[in-house]
A and B are shown apart, each in its own frame.
Chain A
Amino acid sequence: MAQNTKEKKKTDIVRILLIFISLAFVAVMLVIPLVSVIYNSLRKGFAFYVEALSGKYVVSAFKVTMLATVIAVAVNTFFGLVASWALTRFSFRGKQILATLIDIPFSISPVIAGLAYIMTFGRLGWAAPFLEWLGGLLGIEIKIVFALPGVVLATIFVTFPFVSRELIPVLNADGTDEEEAAALMGAGGWSIFKSITFPRIKWALLYGVILCTARALGEFGAVHALSKTRGKTFTLPLEIDALYLSGDQDSIVASFAVSSILVILAVLVLVLRYVLEYKAKSAGKRR
């Protein structure tokens, strides 16, 4: 009996110690940086904050970021739906390899993504003569690297697997019985997708789209390699970089002001994630 209470006391101490370590680690590594972004952005007052956000360069960067994000999310959502259908509804040779290849952008440096597009579409790239020929045919100059198309492509590259990765586990877990039954009864591909598959994956799809959006808004390395003109092809993260490195106090505060917008969006994403997870869980229970 005495030993039992001693053992219990020991596990209590361990429990409190471990919770304390966790909270301290998260506080120092995550919470303090989060708070410091907001603190630094408001150091020169709210009027300065608003002024910093309405600068010419920041507005242009905002537009470029939105353009790149919308296109990247649209492309990758389409890809995610198609790829997850192919990878979970059929079995074929090399499926595992295909799934691994789709995940490549997760594990390579974003700077290499930028380099890859430079080596493909840049002046030295093998596709450059083709682009020139195409441009001559259409009577326009097609510029990808160091121009908006490059920024969009880089954003697509780094967010490529986000949607498919959320959909594949859900579709795998659900199995194909109902879709097979529908197909045997003569339903077409689109109506199977619309009335059977889509209702099951909608929360995972929305979550994938949100993650993809968050990552697209914040992409830095790949875009950094492909975009060199401030006020024209700079995205918000590049503008943050330019402001921070220009060195004077006002610009540094302004760079934190721009950062705070992205941080607020990041926190919103996390909250939405919780809501969606809850919805997906309760939807799962209802079935």
Chain B
Amino acid sequence: MRSMSDKKVKQHKKPRVIPGFGITLGTTVAMLSILILIPLGSVMVYAFCMTPREFWENVTSPGVIYAFGTSILTAFIAAVVNSVFGVILAWVLVRYEFPGKMLLDGLIELPFAIPTAVAGITLSKLYVRDGFLGAPLARLGITVSYTHIGITVAMIFVGIPFVVRSVQPVLEKLDPQFEEASYILGADSFSTFFKVILSELMPAILTGFGLALARGIGEYGSVIYIAGNSAREHTQVVSYIIMQKLNYMDYPGATAVAFVMLIISFVLLLLINIVQIRQSRRTNNI
């Protein structure tokens, strides 16, 4: 508590000796407002201008409800899968030495660099019935393309880097004392991992999970080709619905759905920020 009030006093007393405060802050706020905030604000204002009934009808039409269900469910499963594999990948990259490690580390970032549309058509081509991966899976009785599994696969693809990149730096800086203490107290490596290391990594895993989830819920380009976008099979995602409404010039409908999406994104962003702030507070107190 004391340190916080100290900091506050310091902040107010500290004179601004470096020039350029007004002009840089002004330019930042102006550009941010014109390019990002005002356009997004227009969506919000337009949504608020609707009558509550109109808004409600747009948001609760069966197609929209199913799309939200599909997007949230598949993004959640994809984020869980990515959390498990993300922790394994981060662990392997930080703790082990093996040939090709640098290549593996570089490949993790691939989904950030590859355009979503390219990822979309590639995955769709791979997982169709006679595709390279689709054919063997079809023999096992698993249909990937044009199902929820396909959507999940695409979301796993775009979400891989998030968990790895948020867990990796924390794992690198992890104090070896915790592990040593755990071993000395007689724990084996499994319980050390699950009880000591995992709890230390939890904020980072949650951050990565949240980022992957947010990305998955809003995902468009990589999903639409493998999804099939059938209203009957409930394989339409929310972004697809917004795009479809835009193409039919149904602006109130598109805005209402986008408004709900924006709220979901902001809530996720807020939760991620809270996790990160709590984490930095905890580590600073140690």
User: Across the interface, do B242 and A89 meet the contact criterion of CB distance under 8 Å?
Assistant: no
User: Across the interface, do B239 and A118 meet the contact criterion of CB distance under 8 Å?
Assistant: no
Cβ of A83: which chain B residues have Cβ within 8 Å of it?
24, 28, 31-32
Binds B, one of A44-52, A211-219, A279-287: A211-219
Cβ of B29: which chain A residues have Cβ within 8 Å of it?
98
A285 to B129, CA, bound (A): 53
User: Across the interface, do B115 and A219 meet the contact criterion of CB distance under 8 Å?
Assistant: yes
A183 touching B19 in the complex, CB below 8 Å, given contacts A86-B24, A109-B218, A218-B114: yes
Cβ of A53: which chain B residues have Cβ within 8 Å of it?
none
B25 at the interface (CB under 8 A from A): yes
Cβ of B225: which chain A residues have Cβ within 8 Å of it?
244
One of B32, B100, B126, B246 near A225 (C-beta < 8 A): B246
Shortest C-beta distance, A12 to chain B (Å), equals: 11
Cβ of B39: which chain A residues have Cβ within 8 Å of it?
113, 116-117, 119-120, 157
A107 to B207, CA, bound (A): 13
Shortest C-beta distance, B182 to chain A (Å), equals: 14
Q: Mark B147-165, 1 if CB is under 8 A from A, else 0.
A: 0000000001100100000
Q: Mark B7-42, 1 if CB is under 8 A from A, else 0.
A: 000010010111111001101110110011111101
Interface size class of A (residues with CB under 8 A): 35 or more
User: Across the interface, do A262 and B96 meet the contact criterion of CB distance under 8 Å?
Assistant: no
User: Across the interface, do B269 and A160 meet the contact criterion of CB distance under 8 Å?
Assistant: no
Top-4 shortest CB links A-B: A218-B115, A109-B218, A116-B39, A266-B113
Interface contacts (Cβ under 8 Å), in number, total 271
User: Across the interface, do A102 and B32 meet the contact criterion of CB distance under 8 Å?
Assistant: yes
One of A92, A183, A262 near B118 (C-beta < 8 A): A262
A106 to B43, CA, bound (A): 18
Name the residue of chain A whose CB is nearest to the CB of B89.
A22
A208 at the interface (CB under 8 A from B): no
User: Across the interface, do B122 and A259 meet the contact criterion of CB distance under 8 Å?
Assistant: yes
One of A26, A89, A116, A252 near B89 (C-beta < 8 A): A26
Cβ of B46: which chain A residues have Cβ within 8 Å of it?
119
B261 at the interface (CB under 8 A from A): yes
B189 at the interface (CB under 8 A from A): yes
A33 touching B123 in the complex, CB below 8 Å, given contacts A119-B255, A189-B19: yes
Shortest C-beta distance, A100 to chain B (Å), equals: 6
User: Across the interface, do B88 and A18 meet the contact criterion of CB distance under 8 Å?
Assistant: yes
A-B contact pairs, 21 of them (CB 8 A): A14-B189, A30-B107, A33-B123, A82-B24, A85-B20, A90-B21, A112-B258, A115-B255, A118-B246, A119-B46, A153-B35, A192-B19, A214-B112, A220-B116, A225-B243, A237-B116, A237-B118, A259-B117, A259-B122, A266-B113, A266-B114
Shortest C-beta distance, A243 to chain B (Å), equals: 9
A240 touching B118 in the complex, CB below 8 Å, given contacts A120-B38, A160-B36: yes
User: Across the interface, do A274 and B98 meet the contact criterion of CB distance under 8 Å?
Assistant: no
User: Across the interface, do B110 and A34 meet the contact criterion of CB distance under 8 Å?
Assistant: yes
A126 touching B42 in the complex, CB below 8 Å, given contacts A114-B246, A115-B246, A240-B118: yes
Shortest C-beta distance, A151 to chain B (Å), equals: 14
A237 touching B20 in the complex, CB below 8 Å, given contacts A107-B269, A111-B243: no
B111 at the interface (CB under 8 A from A): yes
Shortest C-beta distance, A68 to chain B (Å), equals: 13
User: Across the interface, do B118 and A15 meet the contact criterion of CB distance under 8 Å?
Assistant: no
Q: For residues 112 through 157 of chain B, which have their beta carbon under 8 Å from a beta carbon of chain A?
A: 112-119, 121-123, 125-126, 132-133, 156-157
Cβ of B40: which chain A residues have Cβ within 8 Å of it?
104, 108, 112, 116
User: Across the interface, do B18 and A30 meet the contact criterion of CB distance under 8 Å?
Assistant: no
User: Across the interface, do A30 and B115 meet the contact criterion of CB distance under 8 Å?
Assistant: no
One of B37, B106, B239 near A111 (C-beta < 8 A): B239
Cβ of A98: which chain B residues have Cβ within 8 Å of it?
28-29, 32
Cβ of A115: which chain B residues have Cβ within 8 Å of it?
43, 242, 246, 254-255, 258
User: Across the interface, do A112 and B261 meet the contact criterion of CB distance under 8 Å?
Assistant: yes
Cβ of A10: which chain B residues have Cβ within 8 Å of it?
189
User: Across the interface, do A33 and B42 meet the contact criterion of CB distance under 8 Å?
Assistant: no
One of B16, B111, B239 near A109 (C-beta < 8 A): B239
A237 to B160, CA, bound (A): 22
Shortest C-beta distance, A121 to chain B (Å), equals: 8
Q: For residues 246 through 286 of chain B, which have their beta carbon under 8 Å from a beta carbon of chain A?
A: 246, 251, 254-255, 258, 261-262, 265, 268-269, 273
Cβ of A218: which chain B residues have Cβ within 8 Å of it?
113-118
User: Across the interface, do A119 and B218 meet the contact criterion of CB distance under 8 Å?
Assistant: no
A149 at the interface (CB under 8 A from B): no
Q: Mark A5-18, 1 if CB is under 8 A from B, else 0.
A: 00100110011001
User: Across the interface, do B109 and A273 meet the contact criterion of CB distance under 8 Å?
Assistant: yes
One of B32, B98, B218 near A110 (C-beta < 8 A): B218
Shortest C-beta distance, A170 to chain B (Å), equals: 15
